[in-house]
A and B are shown apart, each in its own frame.
Chain A
Amino acid sequence: MMELYTQTLNELSLGLEHGDFTSVELTQALLARIAAHNEKLNAFVTITSDEALAAAERADDARAKGRAGILNGLPIVHKDIFCTRGIKTSCGSRMLDNFISPYDATVVEKLAAAGAVVLGKANMDEFAMGSSNETSFYGAVKNPWDLSCSPGGSSGGSSAAVAARFTPAATGTDTGGSIRQPAALTGTVGIKPTYGRVSRYGMVAFASSLDQAGVITRTAEDAARLLGVMAGFDERDSTSIDQAVPDYTAEIGKSIKGLRVGIVRQHFDAGLDEQTGVRVKEAIAVLESMGATAIEVNLPNIDLSVPTYYVVAPAECSSNLSRFDGVRFGYRAENPEDLLDLYCRSRGEGFGDEVKRRIMTGAYVLSAGYYDAYYLKAQQVRALIADDFKKAFADVDVIAGPTVPAPAFKLGDKVDDPIQMYLNDIYTIGANLAGLPAISIPCGFVNELPVGLHLVGAHFAEASLLRAAHQYQQQTDFHRACPEGFQ
């Protein structure tokens, strides 16, 4: 039998069904693997061994009684941004280092109801603000493909854990690329659904008009299975969209013959590493060989997406993070002189540099006299960018390009230069601004580091993205490559 840790969710599911192994055995095998190798990567904030084994026992019991859910007994890891009842939910911050969530996020609840077994909570950039995982209070996560490189961020613990075969799947969140960029840098699959497709209830808020939950897996097939469970209307999220969830697993089996693939010229400009561009063009050629048609499309305002994002996201973050006051929950400064001192020191000591920077950027662009010039202006440019996408999707089904400008960068390389760090998300941010679904899939290597192909779809076109990704993975085996030292 193939080692359990090498198998995908789909393969493990078949093994459990056939009785080749139990969920308890599977959970024990993965927990042992995490215990043996996590130190190299720092992918976890919390490992929930006891809870996982108890959930696995319940899953085996449910299966014996003929009540197995679609994810019965299958392992998953949650990004530590999702509230998990009774378990620390740190969001990668000192501010929440002592926070035991009193409730479960909807995503956590739905996956548990389907029978999933949670192995632990993944490390991440503090409050999801970062593209390298270096802003985490718990230290940077390392990329399994090269331990001196970043696994991307903010869902870097999730991407590293999936790439290192600690787990076949992990949840993530994506505000500007935080699922897709780490997926690209670790050779995994990462999907960010349409804004409102998956509930944000119980997901610590960063920028509420951009945040969306998704998954990181090794195959599009596994992503389809998980998204089918996670997606759907939730009355507890005021921006959740009430629309039926397609059967993604059935959709991905269909051919991509006739699929119209849009290519944006700016995505292949000077900012793109040449070899990365070559890999992405080869991937588009594979899609064409399977019957897709490549068509050039124009997104005239896409170059403004990064500056637009760095007004909108900090503005919303400064508002969302005002709830951390040192009073009701979270970090509280010692011996405050007065109430103002309690607020200012709890926040000053509880938040890290990047989070403080973004809160201050947000406070600035929202402050009297600057609101129109920055926030309102950015929301106008955002409308232009969204309109460009809308026009493009009249002619094509998906837009294909690179997920990131270059393969994984060294830890420490960009940490002192916020603008360089922000530009790592140049190709992914547009989808968040326009609320569109997007996926990154492995499409080759440059200098033995993975490269990601980025596909963006129209609103609620997750099925098209997953289908293109799944069909591509039927023709290629980049997603099967395992980093050395983790085979």
Chain B
Amino acid sequence: MSLDKDQVQHIAMLARLKLSDAELVQSVEKLSRIVDFVDQLAAADTDGVVPMAHPLDAAQRLRPDVVTDSNERDRFQQNSAAVADGLYLVPKVIE
């Protein structure tokens, strides 16, 4: 196994994913196989190759800095599980 339980637990925390014990065991096995598989890239000779930034070598376009959207907060907040007075509610962060 190229990854161990602690490493996968750490990755899951970085990705903000809660895994059950069974999921963790399964993830160690499957992620290890994926990592082993992509490790074949190491053998490729890429000396001096510029990493691709865009498939068509296009540059990022900028738009004029003007307001183009209207305020539709109430409509958008209909998709949230917990809102009040236009605010999104989350568990208490500051004691």
Binding site for B on A (CB under 8 A): 98-100, 102, 194-196, 209, 235, 238-239, 241, 301, 304, 306-308, 310-311, 318, 322, 325-330, 332, 336-345, 347-349, 351, 353, 356-357, 359-365, 367, 373-374, 376-384, 386, 418-419, 422, 433-435, 459
Q: Could you list 11 A-B pairs, sorted by A, with CB under 8 Å? A: A329-B79, A337-B91, A342-B91, A351-B17, A356-B27, A357-B30, A360-B11, A364-B3, A376-B51, A380-B50, A418-B30
A364-B35, A367-B14 in contact; A348/B19 too (CB < 8 A)?
Answer: yes
Q: Is the CB of A364 within 8 A of B31?
A: yes
Closest A residue by C-beta to B16: A343
Q: Is B65 an interface residue (CB 8 A)?
A: no
A347 and B91 in contact, given A377-B41, A377-B44 (Cβ under 8 angstroms): no
A62 to B44, CA, bound (A): 59
Q: How far is the CA of A337 from the CA of B72 in the complex (A)?
A: 31
Known: A102-B75, A306-B37, A380-B44. 10 other contacts (CB 8 A): A194-B56, A196-B56, A239-B58, A307-B37, A310-B37, A327-B80, A328-B79, A329-B79, A342-B91, A360-B17
A384 contacts B58, CB within 8 Å?
Answer: no
Task: Report how many residues on chain B are interfacial, defined by Cβ distance under 8 Å.
Answer: 53
- Of B26, B34, B41, B92, which is within 8 A of A361 by CB? B34
**In the assembly, what is the distance between CA of A419 and CA of B40, in Å?**
13
| B16 and A384 within 8 A (CB) | no
A379-B33 contact given A327-B88, A360-B8, CB 8 Å threshold: no
Which of B33, B40, B44 has most chain A Cβ within 10 Å?
B44
Interchain CB contact under 8 A, B27 and A360: yes
Q: Is A344 in contact with B17, judged by CB distance below 8 angstroms? A: yes
B45 to chain A, nearest CB (A): 9
Chain B residues engaging chain A, CB cutoff 8 angstroms: 3, 8, 11-20, 23, 26-27, 30-31, 33-35, 37-42, 44, 46, 49-56, 58, 60-61, 63, 72, 75-76, 78-82, 88, 90-93
Q: Is there contact, CB below 8 Å, between A301 and B58?
A: no
**Whose C-beta in chain B lies nearest to the C-beta of A362?**
B15
B33 touches A418 (CB 8 A): yes
Task: Please measure, in the bound complex, the distance between the C-alpha atom of A345 and the C-alpha atom of B13, giving whole angstroms.
Answer: 11
Q: A347–B16 contact, CB under 8 A?
A: yes
Measured CA separation A348–B21 after assembly (Å): 12
Give the complex CA separation of A487 and B15 in angstroms.
48
The answer for the CA separation of A348 and B3 in the assembled complex, in Å, is: 20
- Taking a contact as CB atoms under 8 Å apart, the answer to whether B16 and A435 are in contact is no
The answer to whether A332 and B17 have CB atoms under 8 Å apart is no
**Cα(A48)–Cα(B26), bound, Å:** 38
Name the 8 nearest CB pairs between A and B, nearest first. Answer: A435-B55, A348-B18, A379-B51, A329-B79, A380-B46, A344-B18, A332-B81, A363-B15
Q: Which residue of B lies closest to A370 (CB)?
A: B35
* Cβ-defined partner of A102 (8 Å) among B26, B46, B72: B72
Please name all residues of chain B whose beta carbon is closer than 8 Å to the beta carbon of A332 when the two chains form the complex: 81-82
Q: How far is the CB of B23 from chain A (nearest CB, A)?
A: 8
Chain A residues with CB below 8 A from B79, complex form: 98-100, 102, 328-330
Q: Contact: A347 with B35, CB < 8 Å?
A: no
Given the complex of chains A and B, what is the CA–CA distance between A231 and B76 in angstroms?
28
CA distance A381 to B47 in the complex (A): 10
Taking CB atoms, residues of chain A closer than 8 Å to B35 are 361, 364
In the complex, the answer to whether B56 meets A435 with C-beta atoms within 8 Å is: yes
A367 vs B13: C-alpha distance in the bound complex, in angstroms? 12
Hey, which chain B residues are within 8 Å of A328, CB to CB?
76, 79-80, 88
Report the bound CA distance from A80 to B13 in whole Å: 29
| Nearest CB of B to A360, in Å | 5
Given A239-B54, A384-B44, are A360 and B31 neighbors across the interface (CB < 8 Å)?
yes
Contacting residues, chain A, for B56 (C-beta < 8 A) = 194-196, 241, 435, 459
Flag if B11 contacts A363 (CB, 8 Å).
Answer: yes
Whether B76 contacts A304 by the Cβ 8 Å rule is no
Interface centre among B19, B37, B41 (most CB of A within 10 A): B41
Provide the bound-state CA to CA distance between A7 and B30, in Å.
45
Q: A195-B55, A418-B30 are in contact. Are A374 and B88 (CB under 8 A)?
A: no
B3 proximity list for chain A (CB < 8 A):
364
Q: How far is the CA of A419 from the CA of B82 in the complex (A)?
A: 40
Min CB distance, B53 to chain A, in Å?
A: 8
- Which chain A residues border B18 with CB–CB below 8 Å? 341, 344-345, 347-349
How near does chain A come to B61, taking the closest CB pair, in angstroms?
A: 6
